[in-house]
Amino acid sequence: MGRIFFIAVAMFGVMLLASQSSWAYYEEVPEEVEEIPDRTDTTWADDWFTKDKGNWEDGTSSRRTQEGKKRERYLMLCQDDSFIYWLDTQNVRWIDMPYSSLESIIDIWVRLEDISGDAEYSYPQKYYMEHFYLRPEKQQIQFLSELEVTGKPQNAIRERQYRYENWENLVPGSTEEEIYYAVVEHMKELEKSGAVKKRKSDYDFWDDTLRIGGIF
């Protein structure tokens, strides 16, 4: 009887060891879990439309910058049904009237922007430039030339030769009258800001004349 009991205990022990080995074999080894960074965007929805625009709007920003520079260079003078007339502030200046240094006149270039809607599309953009002399002492204007420009203008141009008899009185209500008075008004601002050198005064004229003559 004791022998049978011993055999039974031995068999139970063997079965217990086998069971533990089996569980140990099939026990799952925990895998290393990769930590996922928190990608929650805590910014406001509206901020998304304003941040990092320089990276995806380079083309638009560049066009806006060029447009801004254009608006800084050109000042609007007037408008009619066909064109907007812009003063080129980089090329406006006081000069001595040809053949007479006793009087100063204004030398200007005006850019014409076609708004008629009839203009044909072209690339580069086509536009017009007009060259004028303005005579504030007599409220007169003299037309010198008109250029049709595609892209950048060429420096070789043909202009009407300056003649004293080509001075024209302003016609009330005309585009030339609007251009004249707008330029004269803008000249005050440009002179004040230093963008345009002030006109020569009578004192400057006599001072230059006397110095040239060797009196002083």
Residue 43 lies in a domain: no
Q: What's the number of domains the chain is made of?
A: 1
Domain contains 36: no
User: Would residue 52 count as lying in a domain?
Assistant: no
Domain that holds residue 101: 61-212
Contacts of residue 110, defined as CB under 8 A and 6 or more positions apart, other chains included, come to 77, 85, 86, 87, 88, 129, 130, 131, 132, 179
Per-residue pLDDT tens, the chain, 216 aa: give them: 566 666 666 676 667 665 555 545 445 555 565 666 565 555 554 454 444 444 435 555 655 555 555 568 999 999 999 999 999 999 999 999 999 889 999 999 999 999 988 877 778 888 999 999 999 999 999 999 999 998 888 877 889 999 999 999 999 999 999 999 999 999 999 999 999 998 876 555 555 555 555 555
Residue 25 lies in a domain: no
CATH number at residue 173: 2.40.128
Cross-strand bridge partners of residue 128: 112, 148
